[in-house]
A and B are shown apart, each in its own frame.
Chain A
Amino acid sequence: MSKVCNTLFGTVVVLLTASLCANTAAADFGWRSTGMYRIKHNEYRHGLFDPDGGTVDMMGLERGAIYSLNQAIQLELEIVSLSMHLDALATGLYSDAWDDDIEITQLYVQHDLLDGWHVTAGRIILRWGTGYSFNPTDVLAPEKELADPDNEEHRMKGRDLVKVEYFGGSYSAAAVLSGKVTPGEPRIDDLRAAFRLYKNVLDTDISLIASIAEKETPLWGANVSTVIGDRLELHGESIFQKGSYQGSHRALSGENELFNEFPFNESQRGSAGFYNRYLLGLQYTLPGNVTWTLEYYHQDHGYSKAEWERLISYSGYLDEQLAGVSAPLARTNMLWSMNVFSPKGSMRDYLMSYMGITIRQRHTVEMTLLLNLADGSCIVLPEVHIGAGNHLTFYARGSILEGGMGTEFGEVFLAGYFEGGVRIRL
């Protein structure tokens, strides 16, 4: 609970929650529980920057089986026009010892005002995009904490914000203020305002999005989605910003230091040019409940193939120079870069293809491919779900990272993983 109280809105949330709880006799209450119990095995490999495989041990990553127990609980409480929503996740991981954590991923109160006005305050996961693999217009989406070794579930956590939204029949308008306070310090960090105007025009969903943040130029974007015929859905997103705030390796801006405590800078921040990120996608429903999704994603500020090769060469040079002295640091520098940025796309052009087949209404077989169009490296994610009744699902999934030497997904030291488990929904 202390995590919640340490936020700008925590106090408001707690007060409103207490108010709700004081009136529970008149409340409408709902809950949902999801338990996930699984075993996972990571497969590592040697690579250009990790020829002896020492990095895995140095970073404290597990080589053996990882057992995990996850229990998520969602609560909804509604009194007249005021409602509260809580999502909490308890996680227990075991490899050679138990490691547990409890996190509140969402906690917010919502007040329905007259004539379609809504006010929401608290920790909320906001998703505004229309794509599946990438969402450039999710200006307030939580970051996937992929680089956090404690985040085996790749879970998301909401942002602390206040949202005012008006809902009409076929349109809505939202204004959001997000920020975080540090206890005892009279300042608000990461302050950001965002706006969305949505309207359905000619059976097409259109959202216009803008975002303003401290020390950043504004973001301007839009997303659309529509259905053509019986089976085809089309969607797209695009966002522009003057200058870029994406981290770029210092080596690319001529800072050829052997090692730097923080190897990234925002080299394009002062650029007068506009940087664009966009996604174009389709979803097609084939006969037999087969769904196929195809998406193309481009980001101007990703590494070009030449920049990537330069980065690889520089890191190789570092590795050679520091051999026997502090090689692990140089390797970690590079590996950390790839592990943090690669899953979100560190280069410019990607293609995602997904196919899912539903069998007998309750079992699914899925296959996802994420392809780096510059170097041909890819991630393949096969997944199978076997449903047993309305509450129980057995599943198995894997991840295979493939690519040649020096490619983005070919050099990530995690070659892939396999996991299997059971999910119980109540």
Chain B
Amino acid sequence: MYGSTCKRDPSGRTGTCAMTILLALLALARPAATGEAGREGTAGILETIDSFRVASRQYLVSLRLTSYRGDEVRETALFDVYVGGMDKSLIVAREYRTRGMKILYSGSNMWVHLPNTRRPIRITPIQRLMGEASNGDVAEVSFAGSYRAAPAGKDTVSGVPCRILELTAKHKAATYSRILLWVRSEDCRPVKANYYLVSGKHFKTAFFEEYRKLAGRVALSRMTIHDEVRKGRRTIFDYLEITEREFPAKYFNKNYLIHVKGM
């Protein structure tokens, strides 16, 4: 119910969702009375937030990562990300030091297949892909699929009024155990996120910096992740192109990885 009132304007025009968030979070604060409704509402908010990053439908996104140490570019890479809905994605490295490497994310499972090998192997989401980007940063395309939200206050980021949501992992394979997410009050657009490890350590900070029309709708086009442990290191995510496509189920089967074209 709350999800439907918090839907983005498909044209990309911003609308007010602060009241929606407030209602949803108030509902969450009364779990005994409205627990189901609260969960439904929170999921709706996260889906709205996700809609700026991804769509629940299937598509192919071309993603460029640029890793910096201070002002120096350390590495660049280009990936194709096949998104098969909220909880499935396949990353294929097009230009990278391990060209042809494939990472499959399905539910709470992750596998990697390296070129010149004949079997995929399981990996943990914490294993690093490149720079400050974990595999999960690229492959985990949905907050709604992996996290629950709770209210955490209000703030202003670079002059933009924001609501803060505290996201906690729904399953063991979520990339982070906790996320503090700043979303623009007027339309739920993500602005900033702090990522935390199980230990409670503030691990990374992400800034959702640029949005533009991709595949006919306003979507995130640039995000920067800063390393909070090793200061001065950051990785920029540039979402270059999104093409809506249907993928057969086998694309997200780990045994099919060796058959996906990767050269």
| B119 and A129 contact, CB distance less than 8 A | yes
Determine the main DSSP class of B at the interface with A.
Answer: loop
| B122 and A172 contact, CB distance less than 8 A | no
Given contacts A231-B124, A390-B99, 9 further A-B contacts (CB under 8 A): A30-B261, A110-B259, A205-B122, A205-B254, A226-B122, A232-B124, A233-B123, A285-B127, A289-B128
> Given known contacts A230-B198, A390-B97, is B255 in contact with A198 (CB within 8 Å)?
yes
Determine the residue in chain B with the shortest Cβ distance to A232: B124
Q: What are 14 of the A-B contact pairs (CB < 8 Å)?
A: A30-B261, A169-B249, A174-B255, A200-B107, A203-B107, A203-B172, A205-B122, A227-B109, A227-B172, A230-B177, A233-B122, A233-B123, A361-B128, A390-B96
On chain A, the residues within 8 Å of B253 by CB distance are 167-172
> For residues 99 through 130 of chain B, which have their beta carbon under 8 Å from a beta carbon of chain A?
99-100, 106-110, 115-119, 121-128, 130
Determine the residue in chain A with the shortest Cβ distance to B250: A167
> Given known contacts A167-B256, A172-B253, is B172 in contact with A229 (CB within 8 Å)?
yes
Those 4 A-B pairs whose CB atoms lie nearest each other, nearest first: A30-B263, A167-B250, A127-B119, A127-B118
| B249 and A167 contact, CB distance less than 8 A | yes
Is residue A34 contacting chain B, with contact meaning CB distance below 8 A? yes
Is residue B211 contacting chain A, with contact meaning CB distance below 8 A? no
Q: Which of A127, A128, A130, A230 meets B126, CB within 8 Å?
A: A230
| A361 and B130 contact, CB distance less than 8 A | yes
- Alpha-carbon distance between A169 and B252 when the two chains are bound, in angstroms: 7
| B115 and A32 contact, CB distance less than 8 A | yes
Q: Which of A30, A167, A168, A233 has the most CB of B within 10 A?
A: A167
> Given known contacts A167-B255, A169-B249, A227-B110, is B124 in contact with A32 (CB within 8 Å)?
no
Determine the main DSSP class of A at the interface with B.
Answer: strand
On chain A, the residues within 8 Å of B130 by CB distance are 361
> For residues 376 through 426 of chain A, which have their beta carbon under 8 Å from a beta carbon of chain B?
387, 389-391, 425
Is residue A349 contacting chain B, with contact meaning CB distance below 8 A? no
Residues of B whose CB lies within 8 Å of any CB of A are: 67, 74-75, 95-97, 99-100, 106-110, 115-119, 121-128, 130-131, 172-173, 177, 197-198, 248-250, 252-256, 259, 261-263
On chain B, the residues within 8 Å of A129 by CB distance are 119
Cβ distance A282 to chain B, nearest Cβ, rounded Å: 11
> Given known contacts A167-B253, A230-B124, A361-B74, is B108 in contact with A203 (CB within 8 Å)?
yes
On chain B, the residues within 8 Å of A125 by CB distance are 118
Is residue A74 contacting chain B, with contact meaning CB distance below 8 A? yes
- Alpha-carbon distance between A200 and B119 when the two chains are bound, in angstroms: 16
- Alpha-carbon distance between A389 and B107 when the two chains are bound, in angstroms: 34
Q: Which of A74, A230, A390 has the most CB of B within 10 A?
A: A230
| B95 and A390 contact, CB distance less than 8 A | yes
| B119 and A76 contact, CB distance less than 8 A | no
On chain A, the residues within 8 Å of B97 by CB distance are 362, 387, 389-391
Cβ distance A352 to chain B, nearest Cβ, rounded Å: 15
On chain B, the residues within 8 Å of A94 by CB distance are none
Is residue A276 contacting chain B, with contact meaning CB distance below 8 A? no
| B115 and A200 contact, CB distance less than 8 A | no
> For residues 62 through 107 of chain A, which have their beta carbon under 8 Å from a beta carbon of chain B?
72, 74, 76, 78, 83
> Given known contacts A32-B100, A78-B261, A361-B75, is B67 in contact with A227 (CB within 8 Å)?
no
